[in-house]
Structure 1
Amino acid sequence: MEDFPWLSVLIAVPLLGAVLVGVLPRARETLVKQVALGVSLLVAAGTLVMAAGFDTGGPRFQFEEKYWWIKQFGVHWAVGVDGVALVLILLSVILVPLVILASWNEADRSGGVDVPAKRSASLYFALLLALEAMMIGVFAATDVFLFYVFFEAMLIPVYFLIGSYGGAQRSYAAVKFLLYSLFGGLLMLVAVIWLYPLSARPTSEGGLGAGTFLFSELSRMDIDPTTAKWLFLGFFIAFAIKAPMVPVHTWLPDAAQQAPPGALVLIVGVLDKVGTYGMLRFCLELFPGAAKWATPVVLGFAVLSIVYGAVLAIGQVDLKRLIAYTSISHFGFIVLGVFAMTTQAQSGAALYMVNHGFSTGALFLLVGFMIVRRRSARIDDYGGVQKVAPVLAGTFLVAGLSGLSLPGLAPFVSEFLVFTGTFTRYEVPAIIATVGIVLAAIYILWMYQRTMGGPTAEKAKGMKDLTGREKLAVAPIIAIIVALGFFPQPLLKVINPSVEQTLVRLDQRDPAPTITGHVAENGARP
């Protein structure tokens, strides 16, 4: 099974599906949706088969492929997955068919709030499939230049999903997203190009040979400390924008408010994880010395993101903006775990990427269902929904409780690992970050009370409960959230070996536990 080009096929299938969906007659909307759903299910099935063959005791990168792409510049089509990349690809391919199912009529409403004009369903679902291909590619790329290509290519479908199918201010939100992302991408491109001459090896004639962009080669380089710091900043700023972290986060609330809910699930649930994944994979392993140098400042911004995002979430009146700010807070936890540089914290951060994707995905899907019914994302337009739509309210409660990391639901395990792993090395940031837990309880429970509890609002009377199709779209996510809350070991077993390799590259070991107040066997106090 290792000889089969799994990753190339998994990238190609949704791309070909996007082309097929795009050329189908616009009048055949039902066929367009069925084909898009079928292609996404095929990709999900193929990924699950590939994942079943992943050997947790084998080499770090598996299902590798390497072919020359632009030989003159040392660029390869090189793909492969370690444990962290594999679980993020699984997150992507599971969410896409559920988003397609939930968004069955989304193109007809152009975002569901302010713009009723009918749009092309074929283009909408073609963009979703193209985005799926880019997401698989960006997590699978083991050539840094190829990673950059996928990193930037993702902007195209997202720009058109927001700009063509969003709300009344969709153009502003789409352009703002594009400008922020392009600025970060430009900085990373400079750093990527800078790596090429640094990787050139001396030849027998005394000159320099060709450089390379292969991650396996670049991660073994010893770069001058000053140069490494500049390169680190080029990568880190691009990833901080993508994540997003405070203070380069402002594109996300606007994009969240204007984007159609289905596309928003992929933007916040998966696309933003490219930022934190990039920090873990490239910032730490390519520039370990610079990463240690920057850690105190990064931890400060991570804590700021946790508290600032949570505080602003409390004051929001728009459901989608509220969830976007909660995500900024959660991304702060992930960055905190990545730069704590302990096994527990980094494993928790990688698991948090997956758990947050499912938790936030469920919230955005349910908010989308509410918007379809009320034609509004304003919290004040709801109230007492649990009396007229109890299934919607119940699933919304479970998704919301997962957002505040309730024990027994998936995010709790990852958040606990981040806290314990961070506290062993950086006590003060870990203690301050606990404020985010308290604030999370406030913004989630208050949001639920205002929308689902109390007397039924006049505008909410007559609201229908979830349909069979909507239940089918959200039920698997709720099931995964509960299952991973009680049994996260399968994912951690896949993630841990990759995290251990990262710490080896960083030359970091977990702090030894301190024992006080006990007498050692030889009679002396430790």
Structure 2
Amino acid sequence: MENLLDGWGITLATFSPLVGAAVMMLIPREREDQHKLIALVTSLWVAFVGVLLLIQFDLDHTDRLQFGVDKVWIDVISSRFSVGIDGMSLPLILLTMLIVPLCIIYSWNHFPDPVNPKAFLILILILETGMIGTFVAQDLVLFFVFFEVVLLPMFFMIAVWGGEDRRYASLKFFLYTLFGSALMLVSFLALFFLTGAETFSIAGLSEAVAAGGVSRTAQLWIFGGMFLGFGIKVPMFPFHTWLPDAHTQAPTVGSVILAAVLLKLGTYGFIRIAIPVLPDAAVTWAPWIGLLAVVGIIYGALGCLAQTDVKRLIAFSSVAHMGFVMLGIATLTDFGINAAIMGMVAHGLITGMLFFLAGSMKERYHTLEISRLGGLLVQAPRMGWIFGFCVMASLGLPGLAGFWGEFPAILSAYNPANGVPIETFRTYMVIAALGTVLAAGYLLWLLQRTAFGNPPAEFADDPAITDTTRHEWIAWAPILALIVAIGIYPNLIFRVSDGAVDASLSDCLTVDAHQLTDEEIEALGCSDVYRLGEAAGHDDHDDDDHGDGHAEETNEHAAAGN
């Protein structure tokens, strides 16, 4: 199995869902049990490969691509089938491999109308291939293909199995993301032609840009195209308007996959492609990205306070939470991007779990209007306690994963990279901190209105309102366990991501030591988290400094800051 992983293991895991989908296409629609079994076995096989990847992943060299394959693919355009995993992609790959089988288990007896397990499960498997492929791709053409693979399955999932306004929501989702993808593709092509590198390799293009192959003006425009393409997918304010409609109308599993993984494709594009390839342009764009991030945090929180539907409120909370992720990315520091990766994983687990719960509530009450709900702790106490737990995790309660998704991102804004206006980002830090107060307000209000009090008269004696079922427990238990595990020991993520993040940042994305006194650096605990550039008298960085000890420092310093 070790030889398999070193050769084509990750490729096999990427395309196994497509094989499972192809097999399901050959089986008649009426054999629902066979379709369920094939989809579950396929997703569990992919998850098993993910466990093997984690076991064999070299944590001492997370900055290196592992389990890689690099073969000629489309020779006429110099595109290669180049895939691999490092510390930035591994947490998101494992998140994908976890969420998909749990969605299939949850759907076992929860298929939305019109009931068609064959088509529904095929779309889920195609989505899995697209999501994993995006995280492992090391070639821009390959990245774009996988990035687009997820578009049509999610479109059909909303358009066919969505709510009353499903056609409007699905078309809006499709047009927004297609427009962003077009801009992203133009940016990729501009990089290819302007660098003259004759390669779509991410590493090769990064080297070509560093060698002076692209003018500064061109870099700014190319980064702007990527910013729009990835920003729409995140989605950042003001490109977020498709998200509440898509979440509200999507079936439960569609909302879970969209929140847990699909939104991360945009943020991953920033840290994998935009910033490493165009670091100078990233420095120029950083204040604007940070501004939109904090506006999104406040706007998303205020939007939550105005919602009357549970799913729509959770959708607006995603806008706010992804604002914290983008704030960490905008700092252009290793600490900030590590915080962003933690935020992606935490948001995927917590918000995905909230959408699971919203779907189960709607199945029982046939509505998600907050004014019509109440007394969940009375009628379904276990579900009520789980809902309360997830609300606390989402608002950033220390000891749960949500805390590490917000606090380090806020802290990272105190000391952004060299060339980024420090006072501006410290202002952003204060605004983002206010967003956590608003988050507590709307989430506690949601919990009070839905879980506490007596059940409304129309549902008081409804026998259909039952507590958590076996399939729900099986689907939810791993997520709940990880929310606690990461909250208690965040180094589970930081140890994996830190070395890769540190290695991916260009020398120009370092903190200027003249911006801080020695006392400030020591007080923040940042001396080993932030890389100090030439201003600190360091002209180079040894690879040995990016191992386990450095990752442990990241966690310890963040905790000390609290």
TM-score, normalised on structure 2? 0.87
Aligned to 1:90: 94
Aligned to 1:7: 10
The question of whether the paired residues in 2 share the 8 Å contact of 1:342 and 1:510 is answered with no
Structure 2 residue aligned with 1:196, among 192, 196, 211? 192
Q: How does 1:461-472 map to 2 (within 5 A)?
A: 461=460, 462=462, 463-472=465-474
Change (3 A) 1:505 1:268: farther
Aligned to 2:291: 300
Q: How does 1:497-512 map to 2 (within 5 A)?
A: 497-509=499-511, 512=516
Matched, 1:34 2:37: yes
Structure 2 residue aligned with 1:142, among 118, 138, 146? 138
The question of whether the paired residues in 1 share the 8 Å contact of 2:256 and 2:356 is answered with yes
What is the CA–CA distance in structure 1 between the aligned matches of 2:262 and 2:517, rounded to whole Å? Answer: 37
Aligned to 1:483: 485
> AA paired with 2:149?
A
What is the CA–CA distance in structure 1 between the aligned matches of 2:59 and 2:33, rounded to whole Å? Answer: 42
- Residue 213 of structure 1 aligns to a residue whose secondary structure is coil
What is the CA–CA distance in structure 1 between the aligned matches of 2:267 and 2:227, rounded to whole Å? Answer: 9
Q: How does 1:181-220 map to 2 (within 5 A)?
A: 181-201=177-197, 211-220=198-207
What is the CA–CA distance in structure 2 between the aligned matches of 1:149 and 1:197, rounded to whole Å? Answer: 19
After TM superposition, give the deviation of residue 199 of structure 1 in Å: 3.5
- Residue 246 of structure 2 aligns to a residue whose secondary structure is helix
After TM superposition, give the deviation of residue 504 of structure 1 in Å: 3.3
Aligned to 1:208: none
Matched, 1:351 2:342: yes
Q: How does 1:369-408 map to 2 (within 5 A)?
A: 369-408=360-399
The question of whether the paired residues in 1 share the 8 Å contact of 2:283 and 2:509 is answered with no
Matched, 1:424 2:415: yes
- Residue 437 of structure 2 aligns to a residue whose secondary structure is helix
The question of whether the paired residues in 2 share the 8 Å contact of 1:383 and 1:451 is answered with yes
What is the CA–CA distance in structure 1 between the aligned matches of 2:433 and 2:300, rounded to whole Å? Answer: 13
Deviations 1:209-259 (A, max 9, x none): xx1000110111232100101110111101000000111100000000100
The question of whether the paired residues in 2 share the 8 Å contact of 1:284 and 1:506 is answered with no
Which runs of 5 or more residues in structure 2 are unaligned?
A: 417-424, 523-562
- Residue 66 of structure 1 aligns to a residue whose secondary structure is strand
What is the CA–CA distance in structure 2 between the aligned matches of 1:371 and 1:456, rounded to whole Å? Answer: 15
Aligned to 1:44: 47
What is the CA–CA distance in structure 2 between the aligned matches of 1:450 and 1:132, rounded to whole Å? Answer: 35
Aligned to 2:244: 253
After TM superposition, give the deviation of residue 31 of structure 1 in Å: 2.0
TM-score, normalised on structure 1? 0.93
- Which portions of structure 1, spanning 4 or more consecutive aligned residues, are displaced by more than 6 angstroms? none
Which runs of 5 or more residues in structure 1 are unaligned?
A: 111-117, 202-210, 519-526
The question of whether the paired residues in 2 share the 8 Å contact of 1:106 and 1:260 is answered with no
Structure 2 residue aligned with 1:80, among 72, 80, 84? 84
What is the CA–CA distance in structure 2 between the aligned matches of 1:496 and 1:505, rounded to whole Å? Answer: 16
After TM superposition, give the deviation of residue 376 of structure 1 in Å: 1.3
After TM superposition, give the deviation of residue 352 of structure 1 in Å: 0.7
What is the CA–CA distance in structure 2 between the aligned matches of 1:435 and 1:31, rounded to whole Å? Answer: 51
Structure 1 residue aligned with 2:104, among 100, 105, 121? 100
Matched, 1:493 2:495: yes
After TM superposition, give the deviation of residue 163 of structure 1 in Å: 0.7
What is the CA–CA distance in structure 2 between the aligned matches of 1:349 and 1:179, rounded to whole Å? Answer: 27
> AA paired with 1:126?
I
Change (3 A) 1:25 1:510: farther
What is the CA–CA distance in structure 2 between the aligned matches of 1:175 and 1:470, rounded to whole Å? Answer: 31
The question of whether the paired residues in 1 share the 8 Å contact of 2:69 and 2:83 is answered with yes
> AA paired with 2:178?
L
Aligned to 1:448: 447
The question of whether the paired residues in 2 share the 8 Å contact of 1:343 and 1:421 is answered with no
Change (3 A) 1:494 1:510: farther
Change (3 A) 1:82 1:105: same
The question of whether the paired residues in 2 share the 8 Å contact of 1:384 and 1:460 is answered with no
Structure 2 residue aligned with 1:121, among 117, 124, 137? 117
After TM superposition, give the deviation of residue 200 of structure 1 in Å: 2.5
* Range moving further from structure 2, 15-24 or 72-81: 15-24
Structure 2 residue aligned with 1:287, among 274, 278, 296? 278
- Residue 434 of structure 1 aligns to a residue whose secondary structure is helix
State percent identity of aligned pairs.
39
